[in-house]
Copies of this chain bind each other. A is one copy, B any other.
């Protein structure tokens, strides 16, 4: 059964009001500001029905009403009016998108900070992936007689390096051969395919540099493993304490430690992802829709960006359940659209 137009307008007015003031909303206020030309009594009746339908909640009997998770859900799906971002916000985002950063990690950090500033909420950015990530290329070179640098490039373009200590000073040619062995044995392999026996076989071809092969191959494994997990960057953590719903240190602490432990964010992303999320689309995950307890009074607005075929990332904005979804969505949408275009245009070749 769908709601009457008047109920919808009342619900929207209540949520708008509550988002702004964080205080239970009474019938009088809606009558005065709701532009509905009905009396508070009528609104009261409607409100009581909206409560029965599960869209509103009453903290206690003599207080106003507060939106429920279902109420917010309806709000973000159908009621709220999409907001335009302001010129200055657009400029800030464009400036960030236009700057010459090219490495993914830096971009993500920078953008997380920017979005957090613009919206005044906490943000996270996360790179996730398909587990089919492989090593695309190895490179090894000497920086000191007994110290080599190994560089690993993954199929989705991630770059990691590691210093490797050597037992003796090898010649340039030996390094060249070792690099070739690495590339022969371990490129185009997933984490599961890099077995111990494969490492042993490769090492046996490398003569004196066997230990180098082992070290680098294990390092490659680590890199793939880390990539599988994904990196998480947080920004604006302290803003959590701005919201009245997190004045209670216990609650704030709970959310904070949930967010700072990257496992939680990764899990959340996975749970809300398995299905049909299109890159560039904005999504909401509100209150009890989140499975993890620390998020049950929080709201998350998130969207994805796409890094070629293997790597997908999430940018999320975390606030109280009563967050300004319209404003946040506008910012995130503008940003993600630009970001995805940027990635497509200039970051990846394929």
A residues near B (Cβ < 8 Å) are: 102-103, 136-137, 139, 141, 143-144, 146-147, 149, 151, 153, 157, 159, 161-165, 237-238, 241-242, 246-247, 249-250, 252-253, 256-257, 260, 346, 349
* Option from B141, B144, B241, B349 in Cβ contact (under 8 Å) with A252: B241
CA of A346 to CA of B162 in the docked complex: distance in angstroms?
A: 14
CA of A346 to CA of B166 in the docked complex: distance in angstroms?
A: 11
For A103, the chain B residues whose CB sits under 8 A away are 162-163
The 5 closest A-B pairs by CB, nearest first: A238-B256, A238-B257, A241-B253, A241-B249, A143-B153
Asked whether, in the complex, the Cβ of B349 is within 8 Å of the Cβ of A147, the reply is yes
* Option from B147, B162, B164, B241 in Cβ contact (under 8 Å) with A256: B241
Asked whether, in the complex, the Cβ of A346 is within 8 Å of the Cβ of B165, the reply is yes
For A349, the chain B residues whose CB sits under 8 A away are 144, 146-147
* Option from B139, B165, B252, B257 in Cβ contact (under 8 Å) with A149: B139
Asked whether, in the complex, the Cβ of A151 is within 8 Å of the Cβ of B162, the reply is no
Asked whether, in the complex, the Cβ of B149 is within 8 Å of the Cβ of A102, the reply is no
Least Cβ–Cβ distance between A142 and chain B, in angstroms: 9
Asked whether, in the complex, the Cβ of B161 is within 8 Å of the Cβ of A151, the reply is yes
CA of A308 to CA of B136 in the docked complex: distance in angstroms?
A: 34
Which chain B residue lies CB-closest to A163? B102
CA of A346 to CA of B146 in the docked complex: distance in angstroms?
A: 12
Asked whether, in the complex, the Cβ of A237 is within 8 Å of the Cβ of B249, the reply is no
For A252, the chain B residues whose CB sits under 8 A away are 241, 249, 252
* Option from B147, B247, B256 in Cβ contact (under 8 Å) with A237: B256
For A249, the chain B residues whose CB sits under 8 A away are 241, 246-247, 249, 252
CA of A151 to CA of B140 in the docked complex: distance in angstroms?
A: 11
Interface core residue of A157, A162, A241 (most chain B CB under 10 Å): A241
Which chain B residue lies CB-closest to A261? B238
Asked whether, in the complex, the Cβ of B149 is within 8 Å of the Cβ of A143, the reply is no
Contact A162/B102 with A151-B149, A349-B144, A349-B147 known, Cβ cut-off 8 Å? yes
Which chain B residue lies CB-closest to A136? B143
For A139, the chain B residues whose CB sits under 8 A away are 141, 149
CA of A250 to CA of B165 in the docked complex: distance in angstroms?
A: 49
CA of A146 to CA of B237 in the docked complex: distance in angstroms?
A: 39
Which chain B residue lies CB-closest to A258? B238
Least Cβ–Cβ distance between A231 and chain B, in angstroms: 12
For A143, the chain B residues whose CB sits under 8 A away are 136-137, 153
CA of A151 to CA of B103 in the docked complex: distance in angstroms?
A: 13
Pull 13 A–B residue pairs with CB atoms less than 8 Å apart, ordered by A.
A102-B162, A102-B163, A102-B164, A103-B163, A137-B143, A149-B151, A149-B159, A159-B161, A238-B256, A238-B260, A241-B252, A241-B256, A252-B252
CA of A34 to CA of B346 in the docked complex: distance in angstroms?
A: 70
